[in-house]
Structure 1
Amino acid sequence: MKKSLIVSFILSAFLVTTLSGCGSTSTAVSGSTDTKVPATAKTEKSTTLRIGYQKYGTVNFLKANGELDKVLKEKGITIQWTEFPGGPQLLEAMNVGSIDVGHTGEAPPIFAQAAGTPLVYLGHEPASPASEAILIPEKSEIKSVAELKGKKVALNKGSNVHYLLVKQLEKAGLKYEDIQVVFLPPADARAAFEKGSVDAWVIWDPFFSAAETSAKAKILADGKDTVANHEFYLATRSYAQSNPETVKTLLEQLAKVDTWSKDHPKELSETLSPQLGIDVPSLERAAKRRTYGIQPIDDALLSEQQKIADSFFKLGLIPKEINVKDAVLPATK
């Protein structure tokens, strides 16, 4: 399916859903069952869009080019941008009502849904398995994931790389309990990694590429043939239902900046470098190994997410079983 048709599908499906969701009932576009919308659903349109973003990703690119701010300003809507060190922190903010929309990888929405965050999936980027990895210091003698047994491994708790670690350990015949997991946000993990306080670091781009470039970190294993590593666009259910036109505009602008970013990795990196404090070569490396092209939430994607959720529950990483489809608006169920 051509990219333009995919984007069109997302936007039209989302608009139908949210417009229906503002009334007393909404009809599932891909099914015949009517789904009741809670009577408490917010119906007031907002003149402010509060966006949570991370140090890298399509939403970050969108902030950098300023186009969404201009388009929404013409509609009487202002944007409040808030940066977060990772997806878990971003979704914690969404849970307490501090932001309306944001982007994360695969794992954070699962942890957040298990914690009761009222989120819904809006769309996603294609798989980018090479954009996250388990790193080891340049002079490390570790040669395989199996050799991480008993070692200290740093990662951001609840982030996308949490699942990468789980799957790589399984692949190597190790249990999650066989290693010493050290939960640290990216900046602290980088410091611990360079000091030798941890033996390995599981991290995503652009922190991953920056560690390769400046710290000469080595890749022990990346996500290829192990995980998908999707980037998701998420919103609170109340905001999505009450502001379909604003979300439609957001998705349109994300699609545009996605197309531009794919074809201009160097220009993108030069724009982001002073904002992120990361050198251009590292950002360009990260830009070239990720994938682009906003896609709809479909059954195949939901099945992948459900597998991650089930895996986390079995490991005791989330407190209860969840149904990922409960975090999808009716039109995409």
Structure 2
Amino acid sequence: MIRPLSIRRRNALKAIVATLPALAIGRAFAQDKPATVRIGYQKSSTLITVLKTRGTLEQKLAPLGVKVSWHEFASGLPLLEALNVGSVDVSADVADTVPVFALAAGANLTYLAQEAPSPTAQAIVVKADSPIRSVADLKGKRVGFAKAAGVHYLLIAALEKSGLSFKDIQPAYLAPADGRAAFERDAIDAWVVWDPFLSAVQRQAKVRVLADGTNLAQYQRYYLASTPFAQARPDVIKVIYDALADSGKWVKQSPKDAAALLAPVWGLDEATVEQANGRRSYDVRLVQPERLQEQQAIADTFTREGLLPRKVNATAVPVWKPVL
């Protein structure tokens, strides 16, 4: 009587043991194929804001069994830091300077997409009655801007063109909201900022533009993903890329509709949003090695100014490409 029971137990144990590799593989597969994509973005992330507001990605990713979670950041550098440590999987557009800082810190990032240049979408502004008449007049002055943002490079490039260096000004690292407040109360002498914040201050206050990015900084914004996620879910990356490209076309082809959608989200009037969008290309394209040359120029400039801890090869980075 006992023997058959022992046989049954042995058989049951064998069956359980036999299932363990399959269970382990199943768990590994689930871990390797995350069912949620965590997207980090900023308030100025136009195309991602359009997709988020319209629920586009939720709809397009549902057939893949993938959900979306949204995470807002005040600026690009903390966003990419979160991407690097695994707190988010995909980054909405960040200025062309931000990946350089992330790479210098050893971030494991994959370039997902790039927006064509929008040099006039960022500028150095002063109040209309300011005695500062040119970039050269910024010597010794307190200048506010977001650290590692595209405006950081624009400021350095503009200073160098005027015969100055970054050490000739007093930098005040401020997020856009804090920069606007400091600018209004004269805590800074000049403010370097990008759209839609630039358009907002131009329309709501009396300011002068000392210089924008024309012939100084191309201002190509980048979308990035953590390399592990890009490798695990290329299907999700493809859906996001296509949605971004379609969204960019819609914003440019339907400027008033886009402004009406974005205005309440950004807390701005529609005319300001439309002006800001008019200066951005929103031309989403694949990243090509030859289009990363300014990334290297940015890296070299920041290294020379002592702002990066080490030299960066900004063109030797993982670049996502769709499988044809």
Distance (whole Å) between structure 1 residues aligned to residue 119 and residue 58 of structure 2:
31
Corresponding position: 1:184 with 2:135: no
Cα distance per residue 1:255-296 (max 9 Å; x no partner):
111111111111111111111112211111001111122112
Distance 2:40 2:103 in 1: 17
Q: State the alpha-carbon separation in 2 of the partners of residues 131 and 114 from structure 1.
A: 26
User: Which moves more between the two structures, 57-66 or 107-116?
Assistant: 57-66
Say which is worse superposed, 272-281 or 313-322, in terms of deviation: 272-281
Q: What does 1:125-274 align with in structure 2 at a 5 Å threshold?
A: 125-274=115-264
* Aligned-residue offset at 1:75: 2.1
Distance 1:283 1:217 in 2: 18
1:50 matched to 2:38? The reply is yes
- Distance, in Å, in 2 between the alignment partners of 1:259 and 1:280 is 19
Out of 35, 45, 61, the residue aligned to residue 72 of structure 1 is 61
Residue 331 of structure 1: how far off its partner (Å): 6.2
Q: C-alpha separation between the residues in 1 aligned to 2:210 and 2:36?
A: 44
Q: 1:254 to 1:330 in 2, by over 3 A?
A: closer
Unaligned runs of 5+ in 1: 1-41
Answer whether contact 1:128 1:229 (CA < 8 A) is retained.
yes
Hey, what's the Cα distance between the residues in 2 that align with 1:60 and 1:151?
A: 35
Q: Offset at 1:60?
A: 2.1
Alignment partner, residue 95 of structure 1 = 84
Q: Give the Cα separation in 2 of the matches to 1:195 and 1:212.
A: 16
Give the AA of the match of 1:49.
V
* Matching residue's letter, 1:312: F
Secondary structure, aligned partner of 1:169? helix
Aligned-partner Cα distance in 1 for 2:310–2:50: 35
Q: Deviations over 1:122-143 (max 9, x none)?
A: 1101000000000111221211
| Secondary structure, aligned partner of 2:69 | strand
Kindly indicate whether residue 315 of structure 2 is the aligned counterpart of residue 318 of structure 1: no
Aligned residues: 291
Q: For 1:146 and 1:313, how far apart are their aligned partners in 2?
A: 23
Question: Structure 1 residues 202-211 or 288-297, which shifts more?
Answer: 288-297
Please identify runs of 4+ aligned residues in structure 1 that moved more than 6 A: none
Q: Measure the CA separation in 1 of the matches of 2:32 and 2:242.
A: 22
The alpha-carbon deviation at position 65 of structure 1 amounts to 2.3
Q: Which residue of 1 aligns with 2:286?
A: 296
Q: Is the 8 A contact 2:101 2:148 kept in 1?
A: yes
Matched, 1:61 2:50: yes
The CA distance in 1 between the partners of 2:203 and 2:103, in whole Å, is 36
Partner amino acid, structure 1, of 2:69: Q
**Alpha-carbon distance between aligned partners in 2 of 1:329 and 1:128, rounded to the nearest angstrom:** 21
Output the CA distance in 1 between the equivalents of 2:128 and 2:149. Answer: 24
- After superposition, what is the alpha-carbon deviation per residue over 1:37-87, rounded to whole angstroms, capped at 9, x for unaligned? xxxxx9711110100111223222222222111111232111111112221
TM-score, normalised relative to structure 2: 0.87
The amino acid of 1:188's aligned partner reads D
